[in-house]
């Protein structure tokens, strides 16, 4: 048993004097708030106090140029740092690819024919090298350990648990290539199951615990998973969330709606006493502890091809059902490990803390795989940043002397609102790198992160990437000589060749704005969409043949730095969670008296974007609170609580603004939703019936 670190004293004596009463938000003292800076050098104190993988901007440029000039040699040198049971063929190129669907099927292969295992590289390698006693995870339970479950897990212990889990999955009939779905809260068991699946060559699909039974059922069927791992329930803030009950409902729905059978449900005891209320189905449901009780703590590694699938993670697109983004073992391993090391300047001995849930890509690449492949020690966090109070993250930073923190702008905005005193009550001086992810960060939130959380001595890494890219794509790397620009992701990561294209597909050179695309393959790129390679080609490669299309817009400034300007498609981003307008609209239309719906995103102070729904009702039906409640309930049931409509706009009998071909003019809806008036509407000549605008704007209708 290893002792947990003691709590450090608060950073500033003045702030510590407030005791029982919660810190107050710094009330305005009359002074106008200081505007956020436009450029801040990577802090000298950070540069001086730390060792560096990349010492300077010039070193970055040299390495970047190598990565682009000869990707084969560059990435293969890095790939050789991992263990390969069988090397890739020496006489074949490490990478082969085609990004042009008009020339043949789109693909990218890295080290095909080589055999490895990501779990072996993340765990066994470290234990064999004598690092087995290093802590892999410090687990911080919900609510500042209100139920005494705080613990730490070493690499050796994690390896043993992963092996026992792998044996339990094998006993449940899982073989290499089979799907395993998890529907669990964030905790140590979730990455344990992911690694166990990877160890035996199975393909994990993590479904975020906040998704509804209907959403889980669709994913179970799409992943073709016969085994699900769930948890009785979990404490989230002051609430108890009964996950097993939702999973039971999903399993029934998967059978009824998709003819899909789940044979085994492994149920983890989440703690908090909920298990007493969980009915178990004989022959299908097995308590995790019972399944693992007799399991051996060693398990053979199933060596797989570099191009075999590692996981499928469902994400939202602009149309239709969620897309199962598939990543493969070799390239993803190299991309996750390399970006973790360089983006965060991770050094052995650093303590890392990422607040993401493994239900999202960030939790895959920067909780489970990137850190463990580097042998890092990290904090795993169950619960929410505002419970028991808004000092939760800062208390954790102080407790473990966290060096690298990775969180989302939406969390920063809500914590900023709670007041600086929640931060200064704790010692956050250990921080050296402050990462953010999920959406563009507004300069005010950036400034608060930098000045208040980092005390102007840590560097900010605003990482732009996607489920599809698998790893960081554009980041302000923590190097000497770089001026950070709040809100700007800045530099392409190693091996990434970004380009801006205008709507006709012409390359925008120099300063300018356009569609952000990637011109060359990179190791951790998605390989396909589960069961639908055609959809992968049409979604990402057909509009601009030869390029991977991100779906985001970007602007290049005079320094050549890239600023992300938001989605150019109908994907919404609420609190960093991707949602397709189509998914939300089809849920709303599921309410009986609704005829049609159109949803747009509006700016929101905390969640970044919020949902504004235009709803057309059946003739003779009036919008009222009952209908509003029905819509809220339907969205919760089909998607989950994250799909919450901020503003409902009942549209009159003339309906939505459409073109003659029936396409909804979302541009106009966005303008109306954000309070735009007459003068802002621009060209409305494509409208089939211009009088719909009168009605939407509340003008007298002719």
Among residues 104, 47, 97, 57, the alpha carbon closest in space to that of 75 is found at 97
The count of C-alpha atoms lying within 13 angstroms of the C-alpha of 406, restricted to the half-sphere facing its C-beta, is 27
Q: How far is the CB of 567 from ligand 6R9 (least distance, A)?
A: 5
- List the beta bridge partners of residue 312: 326
From candidates 440, 470, 523, 608, binder to ligand 6R9 by CB under 6 A: 440
Among residues 188, 85, 139, the alpha carbon closest in space to that of 396 is found at 139
Q: How far is the CB of 539 from ligand 6R9 (least distance, A)?
A: 12
Q: How far is the CB of 79 from ligand 6R9 (least distance, A)?
A: 23
Instruction: Tell me how far apart the alpha carbons of residues 498 and 493 are, in angstroms, rounded to a whole number.
Output: 10
Q: How far is the CB of 365 from ligand 6R9 (least distance, A)?
A: 8
- Only one residue has tokens 């006993």, namely 171
Q: Name the one range near ligand 6R9 by CB under 6 A: 219-227, 262-270, 465-473, 601-609.
A: 465-473
Q: How far is the CB of 403 from ligand 6R9 (least distance, A)?
A: 21
Q: How far is the CB of 239 from ligand 6R9 (least distance, A)?
A: 24
Q: How far is the CB of 209 from ligand 6R9 (least distance, A)?
A: 16
327 touches ligand 6R9 (CB under 6 A): no
Which residue in the shown chain puts its C-beta closest to ligand 6R9?
467
Q: Name the one range near ligand 6R9 by CB under 6 A: 264-272, 397-405, 545-553, 677-685.
A: 545-553
Q: How far is the CB of 359 from ligand 6R9 (least distance, A)?
A: 10
CB atoms within 10 A of CB 569: 17
Instruction: Return the structure tokens found at 580.
Output: 């397709």
Q: Name the one range near ligand 6R9 by CB under 6 A: 158-166, 444-452, 461-469, 606-614.
A: 461-469
438 touches ligand 6R9 (CB under 6 A): yes
Cα torsion 575, 581, 583, 588 to 10°: value is: 100
- Dihedral sign (CA 148, 149, 151, 156): positive
271 touches ligand 6R9 (CB under 6 A): no
Helices (H), 507-608: 533-540, 581-589
From candidates 116, 154, 189, 315, binder to ligand 6R9 by CB under 6 A: 315
From candidates 336, 437, 477, 673, binder to ligand 6R9 by CB under 6 A: 437
Between residues 64 and 465, which has the closer beta carbon with respect to ligand 6R9? 465
- Which residues from 578-617 bind ligand 6R9, rule CB under 6 A? 578
- For residues 537 and 106, is the Cβ–Cβ distance under 8 A? yes
161 touches ligand 6R9 (CB under 6 A): no
CB atoms within 10 A of CB 84: 18
DSSP 158-227: HHHHHHHHHHHHHHTT--TT-EEEEE--SSSHHHHHHHHHHHTT-EEEE--TTS-HHHHHHHHHHHT-SE
Q: How far is the CB of 36 from ligand 6R9 (least distance, A)?
A: 16
Count of positions on this chain that bind ligand 6R9 (CB under 6 A): 23
492 touches ligand 6R9 (CB under 6 A): no
Instruction: Tell me how far apart the alpha carbons of residues 636 and 213 are, in angstroms, rounded to a whole number.
Output: 10
344 touches ligand 6R9 (CB under 6 A): no
Between residues 142 and 436, which has the closer beta carbon with respect to ligand 6R9? 436
DSSP 487-501: T--BEEPTT--EEEE
Instruction: Return the structure tokens found at 625.
Output: 């609170």
From candidates 117, 182, 345, 362, binder to ligand 6R9 by CB under 6 A: 362
Q: Which residues bind ligand 6R9 (CB under 6 A)?
A: 315, 360-362, 437-440, 462-467, 489, 550-552, 564, 567, 573, 576, 578
């Amino acid at each position: 048993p290893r002792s947990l670190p003691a709590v450090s004293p608060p950073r500033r004596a003045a702030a510590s004097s407030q005791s029982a009463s919660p810190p107050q938000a710094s009330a305005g003292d009359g002074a106008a708030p200081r505007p956020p800076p436009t450029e801040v050098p990577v802090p000298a104190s950070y540069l001086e106090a730390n060792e560096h993988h990349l010492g300077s901007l010039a070193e970055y440029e040299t390495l970047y140029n190598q990565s682009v000039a000869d990707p084969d040699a560059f990435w293969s040198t890095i790939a050789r740092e991992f263990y390969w049971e069988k090397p890739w063929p020496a006489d074949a190129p490490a990478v082969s690819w085609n990004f042009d669907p008009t020339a043949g099927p789109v693909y990218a292969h890295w080290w095909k024919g080589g055999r490895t295992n990501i779990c072996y590289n993340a765990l066994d390698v470290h234990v064999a090298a004598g690092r087995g006693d290093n802590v892999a995870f410090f687990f911080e339970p919900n609510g500042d350990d209100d139920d005494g479950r705080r613990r730490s897990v070493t690499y050796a212990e994690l390896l043993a648990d992963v092996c026992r889990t792998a044996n339990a999955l094998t006993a449940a009939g899982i073989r290499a290539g089979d799907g395993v779905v998890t529907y669990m809260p964030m905790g140590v068991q979730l990455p344990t199951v992911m690694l166990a699946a990877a160890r035996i060559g199975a393909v994990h699909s993590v479904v975020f615990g906040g998704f509804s039974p209907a959403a889980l059922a669709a994913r179970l069927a799409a992943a073709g998973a016969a085994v699900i791992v769930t948890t009785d329930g979990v404490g989230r803030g002051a609430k108890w969330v009964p996950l097993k009950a939702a999973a039971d409902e999903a399993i029934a729905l998967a059978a009824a709606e998709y003819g899909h059978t789940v044979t085994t449900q492994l149920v983890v005891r989440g703690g908090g006493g909920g298990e007493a209320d969980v009915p178990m189905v004989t022959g299908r449901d097995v308590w995790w502890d019972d399944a693992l009780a007799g399991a051996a703590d060693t398990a053979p590694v199933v060596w797989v091809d570099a191009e075999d699938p590692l996981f499928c993670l469902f994400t939202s697109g602009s149309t239709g059902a969620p897309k199962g983004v598939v990543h493969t073992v070799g390239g993803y391993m190299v991309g996750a490990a390399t970006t973790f090391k360089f983006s965060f300047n991770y050094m052995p001995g650093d303590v890392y803390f990422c607040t993401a849930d493994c239900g999202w890509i960030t939790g895959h690449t920067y909780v489970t795989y990137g850190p463990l492949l580097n042998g890092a020690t990290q904090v795993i966090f169950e619960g929410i940043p505002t419970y028991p109070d808004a000092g939760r993250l800062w208390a954790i930073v102080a407790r473990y002397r966290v060096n690298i923190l990775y969180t989302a702008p939406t969390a920063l905005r809500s914590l900023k609102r709670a007041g600086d005193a929640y931060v200064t009550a704790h010692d956050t001086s250990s921080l050296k790198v402050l990462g953010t992810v999920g959406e563009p960060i507004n300069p005010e939130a950036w400034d608060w992160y930098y000045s208040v959380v980092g005390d102007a001595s840590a560097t900010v890494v605003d990482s732009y990437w996607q489920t599809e890219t698998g790893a960081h794509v554009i980041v302000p790397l923590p190097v000497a000589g770089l001026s950070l620009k709040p809100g700007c992701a800045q530099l392409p990561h190693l091996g990434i060749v970004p380009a801006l294209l205008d709507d006709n597909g012409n390359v925008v050179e120099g300063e300018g704005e356009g569609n952000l695309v990637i011109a060359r393959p990179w190791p951790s790129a998605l390989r396909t969409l589960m069961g639908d390679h055609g959809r992968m080609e049409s979604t990402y490669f057909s509009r601009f043949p030869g390029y991977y299309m991100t779906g985001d817009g970007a602007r290049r400034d005079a320094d050549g730095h890239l600023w992300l300007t938001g989605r150019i498609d109908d994907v919404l981003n609420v609190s960093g969670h991707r949602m397709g307008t189509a998914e939300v609209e089809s849920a709303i239309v599921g309410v009986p008296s609704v005829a049609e719906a159109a949803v747009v995103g509006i700016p929101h102070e905390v969640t970044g974007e919020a949902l504004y729904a235009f709803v057309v009702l059946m003739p003779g039906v009036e919008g009222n609170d009952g209908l509003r409640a029905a819509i809220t309930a339907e969205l919760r049931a089909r998607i989950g609580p994250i799909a919450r409509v901020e503003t409902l706009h009942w549209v009159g009998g003339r309906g939505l603004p459409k073109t003659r071909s029936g396409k909804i003019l979302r541009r106009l809806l966005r303008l109306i939703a954000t309070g735009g008036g007459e003068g802002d509407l621009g060209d409305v000549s494509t409208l089939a019936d211009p009088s719909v605008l009168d009605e939407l704007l509340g003008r007298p209708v002719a």
